[in-house]
Amino acid sequence: MKPDLISNDSQLNSSGKLIHLLGLKGLPKEQIENILNVASRLLDTQGNLKKSKVLDDMSVANLFFEPSTRTRNTFEIAAKRSSAQTINVDLANSATKKNETLMDTMHTLKAMQIDMFVIRHKKNGLPHHIANNIEGIAIINAGDGINAHPTQALLDMLTIQQEKKSFKDLSVAIVGDIRHSRVAHSDIHALRTLGTKDIRLIAPGYLQYNGEVSNNLKLLDNLDEGISGVDVVVTLRLQKERMLAAEIPNEKVYFDHYGITNEKLKLAKPNAIVMHPGPVNRGIEVDTAVADGPQSVILKQVTNGIAIRMAVMEVLAQAL
């Protein structure tokens, strides 16, 4: 199934309240802005994060079916900074091995008084499936297949907002393997909803976006053309096997065509920012001089990631 076909309708209840965060497709602008506002309030003027007591009576479980220490850590830190109890469910050794069905595991964890589940899974739409089959708990999609990674896109939006204020007049370039990137897919939905007038997707054909088109979306395969005059450059993590499938013989060739160097960055606006979801492959997606340079906001994204996850949990807790 094309990821863009998966509906996120069940993340809103009948009165329009957010009860899960499954994806940004179809999420109303006010919901996105509300999460950005809550996250901004959690950051002090130095960009440091305050602690909060809002999840004092809640339990949050991390269910990562795909390994990702980094994203799991950010959710665990966010939950703890919100005063929630946290539990990491070790799925490698867990009951799913003993043939328990996934929904049995979910119902069991709910019966253990877990309120919120952070789920990462390689299957598109798996968090949606769970959300549709269990009540009274909140699901946060921490990345499903190539479909969506909504908290990553929200932290990207928060970072852009901090640097650029209004989304309307921006030109944003997204560079890399867009077709298989849940980050890119969620970014595109967020940027569209926030009214960004010029979204440029820069990738070789095989890695190019194949989702819903829209007026403000341009598909390009040339980086020089794509990056010219943009305000924001979003780079994506490259997976080697997909680079090869795209007939890019090696990392050097990819870097020559799509790597962001200071030279390439000169084609963008002088105050353009460079983003990456991390971890960065230095010298493949982004040159070290750019990653560590004054236009990089990569580490700001990390801090914003904690703020956004705290904000999402706070908003979801209000509906529990």
In the chain, count of helices (H) and strands (E)? 12, 9
Does 36 contact its own copies by CB under 8 A? no
Sole binder of its own copies in the list 249, 270, 279, 294 (CB under 8 A): 279
List the one residue from 299, 318, 319, 320 that touches its own copies (CB under 8 A). Answer: 299
Instruction: Tell me 50's DSSP state.
Output: P
Taking CB under 8 A as the rule, does residue 57 contact its own copies? Answer: yes
- Out of 107, 164, 218, 242, which residue is the one contacting its own copies (CB under 8 A)? 107
293 is an interface residue for its own copies by CB under 8 A: no
Written as six digits, the tokens of 12 are 């809103």
For residue 208, the one-letter residue type is Q
Q: What single DSSP character describes residue 43? A: B
**What is the 3-state secondary structure of 199-260?**
EEEECCHHHCCCCCCCCCEEEECCHHHHHCCCCEEEECCCCHHHHHHCCCCCHHHHHHHHCE
Q: Is 122 in the site for its own copies (CB under 8 A)?
A: no
SS3 call for 80: helix
> What distance in Å separates the CA atoms of residue 256 and residue 275, rounded to the nearest whole number?
19
Under the criterion CB under 8 A, does residue 289 sit at the interface with its own copies?
Answer: no
C-alpha span between 72 and 150 (Å, rounded): 14
> Shortest approach of its own copies to residue 10 CB, angstroms?
21
- What is the residue type of 111? A
Q: 87 or 217: whose CB is closer to its own copies?
A: 87
CB of 110 to its own copies, least distance (A): 8
Compute how many residues bind its own copies; rule: CB under 8 A: 47
Q: Is 42 in the site for its own copies (CB under 8 A)?
A: no
DSSP state letter for 120? E
User: Considering the rule CB under 8 A, would residue 98 count as an interface residue with its own copies?
Assistant: yes
Distance between CA atoms of residues 179 and 176, nearest Å: 9
Residue closer to its own copies, measured from CB, 27 or 140: 140
Least distance from its own copies to the Cβ atom of residue 263, Å: 23
Residue 210 found at the interface with its own copies (CB under 8 A): no
7, 29, 41, 90: residue in contact with its own copies (rule CB under 8 A): 90
Helix (H) or strand (E) holding 275: strand 273-275
Residues that bind its own copies (CB under 8 A): 48-49, 51, 57, 59, 67, 69-70, 73-74, 76-77, 80-81, 85, 87, 89-91, 93-95, 98-101, 104-105, 107-114, 278-282, 299-300, 302-303, 305-306
